[in-house]
Amino acid sequence: MSNPSNNRLTQEEVEFYRENGYLLHHKQVFGPEKLRELSDIFEEQWEMVGRKLNRELDTPHFRDERLLKFLLSDEVLDLVEPLIGPNIGLWSSHFICKEPVIGKQTPWHEDSAYWDGRLTRFDKIVTIWLAIDRSWKENGCMRVIPGTHRDGFSEYEEVGLKDNIFETEIKKVDDSKAVYFELERGECSLHDSRIIHGAQANQSQYRRCGYTMRYFATDAKVIPEKNEGFKIWLARGKDIAGSSFVNA
């Protein structure tokens, strides 16, 4: 059951998100039992991939539909709806966990750049980053460059995988403008798919794990030939653009 006092954004918060491209939600998204249940599912997944950052932790709900209890929950969708409207598709989810001391940095990027060609528009896609562990500057929390969701696709350069979790990074980012997303366990951030963001390496003694839950307004169409084998769920409302939802 949702908790409207926690999960309904104020008009000021909505306006802040639209202006800056992000929002920090310093309230518990789920109750203690539900958060513990999600954490237990993560620990199972983490053990399965050998307790290291692994691409297999992307879209874990494809193979473990227990996660739909969280992804399609009112607690989450009540946060999303004021930002992208009442017709909501579940785009993806991802457990992102950085080991203590050796957790690599996440280069500056825009999520939408990696999805270019897969949807018809990117202006109403929001990611919830739920902290399973405390996420702090010292263990490599996410950081963003406010307002960059309005700038279009950036230019990238190769950086290699030695110190990074992927091979490309946006050129010439002024990191003096970065805002760090420090969150306690169970709190979350929300960010626009187009905003420039990344994370420094985790050189601390503390693991940093989050669960990203990504949603799009269904007036964007998911292009079938560019998403072979990819599954989307209609989370709330109705399909507008005619995408192929598994539950529509």
State the Cα–Cα distance between residues 168 and 158, nearest whole angstrom.
4
Cα angle value 56/118/172 (rounded, 5°): 80
CATH code assigned at 43: 2.60.120.620
Q: Per-residue pLDDT tens for 170-202? A: 999 999 999 999 999 999 999 999 999 999 999
Does a structural domain hold residue 243?
Answer: no
Does a structural domain hold residue 247?
Answer: no
Count of domains forming the chain? 1
Its domain, for residue 175, covers: 4-236
Q: How many CA atoms lie within 13 A of 16 on its CB side?
A: 11
Does a structural domain hold residue 241?
Answer: no
Q: How many CA atoms lie within 13 A of 26 on its CB side?
A: 3
What pTM value is reported for the model? 0.93
Does a structural domain hold residue 114?
Answer: yes
**Three-state secondary structure readout of 127-176:** EEEEECCCECHHHCCEEECCCHHHCCCCCEEECCCCCECCCEEECCCCHH
Q: Per-residue pLDDT tens for 45-103? A: 888 876 665 555 899 999 999 999 999 999 999 999 999 999 999 999 999 988 888 77
